[in-house]
Amino acid sequence: MFAKQMANHLTEKILPFWMNLIDREQGGFYGLVKEDLTLEKDAMKGCILNSRILWTFSTAARICKDEGYLPYARQAYEFMDAFWDKERGGVYWSVTFDGKPIDTTKHTYCQAFAVYGLAAYYRACGDKEALEKAFALFDIIETKCKDAGGYGEAFRYDFSPESNEKLSENGVMAGRTMNTLLHVLEAYAELYRACGDERVKKAAQDALSCFLNVMYNRSLRRLDVFYDVDFNCIIDLQSYGHDVEASWLMWDAVEAVISEEEQAPYKAMCLDLLNSVLERAMTDRGFHNECEKGIVDEKRVWWVQAEAVLGFENAWKLTGDAKYKENIEKVWQFIQDVTVDKRPGGEWYAYTTVEGKPLGKPMVDEWKCPYHNGRMCLRVMERNG
């Protein structure tokens, strides 16, 4: 029943919204829709947004067994060329509306999402060129974005390091971030499922080891968020959204690349993170955003609500404990009541208050995408269909 609700929401609400944003003149998809649903056709186009659209339509085609979504995936796939540095390799952060480089930063996070989208496209349609491009970016990440200590963050067009404003927040400048490693892991799990390459498997295993042995703060029951280059935590912060997302994303990677007899410590970590945010962030009206130095940010962020559904769904599958199922239903009800934009042509609001007042954020921008809420639907469908 729940899987059917997810399928209906995906195919009747989320995907149609994004299908209407296809840019038939300049390629790709439009990059900005304001909260009042005004479309800005000349807005820049971000590689992360395009990669997430590529992943979403590719995965929808595969899981829904509907080739009608492949032309939309192909639209995003073909526009990936606009971000590609054909001389030095890697993908740029953003381009103009008509496909000219505008921000030539090569961020590890951005490379990872391109891998994620390309691997999903290959899984959907078997295009070997897409797999070759995903491997080219895998090699870039492993040779250009990685040092002896781990993955770096931001790089200039020539892969010389630059400051990490793009993935740093809360008044700090991070040399390494939990968020970047999480999405490198996610991309590698997708790529490994696409091809079974042992190099990819080993890199994913190494990333999981870093989470278990470095980023997982056992005493505080959280993943620390921002680090210096030596992995010293530089801020007292728990990102509830990232912890609940990591609780299932890491387990998804564990199932792909860790042998069954070695899974126990990862399972314990994933459930501990989930139970921590259940105790600290879950309310009768959705999921809090984060907690910095003991102060809780209560705004309701669209992607956090979507990831909470998946975190609870994963814990329910792992344990059979009914409390997790109850919280799936609570968050899903809040999403339907508050987060979903009920206007004709709307999708999900980006940020709202606890009471449900929208906070003026765009409906589409370089971060606001169909990936979190689309993936919520698709994963539930795949695991419960």
Convert the pLDDT of each residue in 166-216 to its tens digit: 999 899 999 999 999 999 999 999 999 999 999 999 999 999 999 999 999
SS3 297: strand
pLDDT at 384: 87
pLDDT at 377: 98
Convert the pLDDT of each residue in 72-110 to its tens digit: 999 999 999 999 999 999 999 999 999 999 999 999 999
Domain of 201: which CATH number?
1.50.10.10
CA 118, CA 76: separation in Å to the nearest integer? 10
CA 144, CA 121: separation in Å to the nearest integer? 24
Average pLDDT along the chain, 385 residues, taken 10 residues at a time:
94 98 98 98 98 98 98 98 97 98 98 98 98 98 96 97 93 96 98 98 98 98 98 98 98 98 98 98 97 98 98 98 97 98 97 96 98 98 89
Tell me how far apart the terminal alpha carbons of the chain are, to the nearest angstrom: 9
- Number of domains the chain contains: 1
β partners of residue 146:
151
3-state SS record for 173-210: CCCEEHHHHHHHHHHHHHHHHHHCCHHHHHHHHHHHHH
Which of 3, 113, 111, 103 is closest to 54 using CA atoms? 113
Inter-CA distances, 180 with 14, 113, 198, 246, Å? 26, 10, 22, 12
CB 276 within 8 A of CB 345: no
Across the chain, where does the E strand assignment appear?
Answer: 45-46, 94-95, 101-103, 106-107, 154-155, 176-177, 216-217, 222-223, 226-227, 237-239, 282-283, 286-287, 290-292, 295-297, 300-301, 351-352
CA 46 to chain centroid: 14
Structural domain span for residue 97: 2-384
Q: What is the pTM of this model?
A: 0.98
What six digits make up the tokens of 325? 């199922």
CA 16 to chain centroid: 20
A 10 A CB-CB count for 229 gives 14
Most distant CA atoms of the chain, gap in Å: 54
pLDDT at 23: 98
